[in-house]
Amino acid sequence: MANIFKTIGNGLLILLGARILDQVLRNNKKDKHCPDPNITVDRPNSKYIPNQLVVWKKPGISDIEFNQWKRHNLQKYSGILVKKLCRNCDDSLELWEGDNISTLISEKAAGSGGSSTSAPPSGGSDAIACFSYNLIIDLPEPVVCISERYERGVKIAGRQELKDPAVIVAVFDTGLISDIKGTYTDVVDSCMRGGSSGWNFAYKNDVTDDDYPTSHGSAVTKFIIDQEAEYGQQKISILPVKVHNSYGKSDLFSILCGFAYAARCGAKIVNASFGFYASKDGEAPAILSQFVKKHLTDNNILLVAAAGNVNADESIGRTTAEKIRNLEYHPFFPACLSKDFENVLAVTTISREEGKVSPSQNFSNTIVDIGVDCDRVAEDDYWFEDPLGRRILIVGSSYATPIVTGKIAQHYQALMDAMPFRVINKSILLQEMKNLGIIKTDDRFNEYIIDGNWSTKGR
């Protein structure tokens, strides 16, 4: 059972029982987004907006060819309109909307040989374009909730005089509290008018304040900048890419447009503490893998992605938690791109003390690259101390991920210098991280982490 932690008196942490948690949630309307941890809900295989389609022109296709393809399909499937473009960042990424979207997808899937699963197709590709339902991408639900949302007062270390130029880290999340934003963000060249210091894709403006009840994006970002205070090697510049709204919801179009935006802003690392599940035989939507290749891989941008937290999935039936957590059986994206992309790292939480991966997080010895050692083992899970100074413990691969991001950012120039032609090579990257003392090896994790053993300390 997951429990909430709360501080009383002299700062001791005590566990609140489920009944007290229920009372907290009933009495605090701000916490309506926080789930009851005693309720396990099976979730559908794919959550998407049924009348929306994300469309992207394949690289190498001319505008004339794409426009002809688009006119044909918009005429054939009447009632579909182009709702928006990823304007100026990648004009060939479009969002279509209409009642015939499901018919379009089904007919194109049938024309290409159909789906290998019994589930209805969620997207596909042809000679001209990639397309997918506009998937709903939620933040992992918080295990620890607080009765009052954090506002101000987090301790921010003064920015040091470190090596220039700063390494731009794009944080795809819920935004930033002003304490961090005022210290660690800089003005960058942007493809988005008004987006020189970050962009809000959730509400389509330049306001990147963190409005999520548990300040998820701020906590994630604080984990990153804490590494600068620890190592003092490299200046970090945070680019807040607010893709999740106040309910923690985002969508595929926003994520993809965000990737294009981050690349055009000069980001060197993207922190992705989010993701979505596919069924056992499911592959990443073609639009996701090809878009990542063009905008991140081809621009030598590192994508550090959360391996995901356990999430029962009704499409694969009820099964053991161990099997659900295996990414080979239950793929989670974008982390699972790590298997095929040199520039994608998948991260989970471990306890080196116990020699195990967190029982609430995903693993795979062919996909997960690094395990981050937790701060504390309690209540049968592996926890981190809250970086914002709230006297609570937090858990999730979304918090392990930015620790790795921050360590890489702090040693970015040295790591890139070790690569032939400064092109990201994962095996060289991991080995050089070991040489620099950033990560260690531990053979106890052979069954759970790629190459069996990469791990790094927490905070």
Average confidence (pLDDT) over 255-284: 89
Q: Over 80: is that where the pLDDT of 148 sits? A: no
Which of 224, 146, 129, 152 has its CA nearest to residue 184? Answer: 224
Q: Which residue has the higher pLDDT, 317 or 457?
A: 457
Q: Over 70: is that where the pLDDT of 372 sits? A: yes
Read off the pLDDT of residues 122-138 as tens digits, 9 standing for 90 and up.
788 899 999 999 999 98
Average confidence (pLDDT) over 305-326: 73
CA distance 417 to 404: 19
Burial class of 193 by CB neighbour count within 10 A (0 to 12, 13 to 18, 19+)? exposed
> Among 13-22, 287-296, 426-435, which is the least confidently predicted range?
13-22
Q: Cis before residue 334, ω within 30 degrees of 0?
A: yes
Domain containing residue 276 = 163-456
pLDDT band at 396 (very low <50, low <70, confident <90, very high): very high
Is 155 a member of any domain?
A: no
| Single-letter amino acid code for the residue at 394 | I
Q: Over 80: is that where the pLDDT of 341 sits? A: yes
Is 230 a member of any domain?
A: yes
Q: Over 80: is that where the pLDDT of 14 sits? A: no
Q: For residues 325 and 202, state if they share a domain.
A: yes
pLDDT band at 163 (very low <50, low <70, confident <90, very high): low
Q: For residues 172 and 283, state if they share a domain.
A: yes
Average confidence (pLDDT) over 359-373: 94
Q: Over 80: is that where the pLDDT of 13 sits? A: no
| Single-letter amino acid code for the residue at 48 | Y
Q: Which residue has the higher pLDDT, 10 or 73?
A: 73
pLDDT band at 21 (very low <50, low <70, confident <90, very high): very low
Beta strand extents in 279-343 (DSSP E only): 302-306, 332-333
Which tokens is 404 given?
């790795």
Burial class of 283 by CB neighbour count within 10 A (0 to 12, 13 to 18, 19+)? middle
Which tokens is 449 given?
């982490």
304 in Cβ contact with 399 (< 8 Å): no
pLDDT band at 432 (very low <50, low <70, confident <90, very high): very high
pLDDT band at 40 (very low <50, low <70, confident <90, very high): very low
CB-based contacts of 40, cutoff 8 Å, min separation 6? 312
**Domain harbouring 104, CATH code:** 3.30.70
Q: For residues 332 and 449, state if they share a domain.
A: yes
**Domain harbouring 323, CATH code:** 3.40.50.200
Q: For residues 252 and 378, state if they share a domain.
A: yes
Which tokens is 346 given?
């998948």
Is 157 a member of any domain?
A: no
Beta strand extents in 391-435 (DSSP E only): 393-394
Q: For residues 316 and 261, state if they share a domain.
A: yes
Read off the pLDDT of residues 174-206 as tens digits, 9 standing for 90 and up.
999 988 887 888 889 999 999 999 999 999 999
The last residue of one of the domains, among 123, 138, 153, is 138
- Indicate the helix (H) or strand (E) that contains 385: strand 381-385
Q: For residues 437 and 349, state if they share a domain.
A: yes
Alpha helix ranges (H) inside 186-279: 216-231, 252-264
Pairing of strands 302-306, 269-272: parallel
Q: For residues 309 and 382, state if they share a domain.
A: yes
Q: For residues 344 and 391, state if they share a domain.
A: yes
Which of 347, 336, 339 has its CA nearest to residue 396? Answer: 347
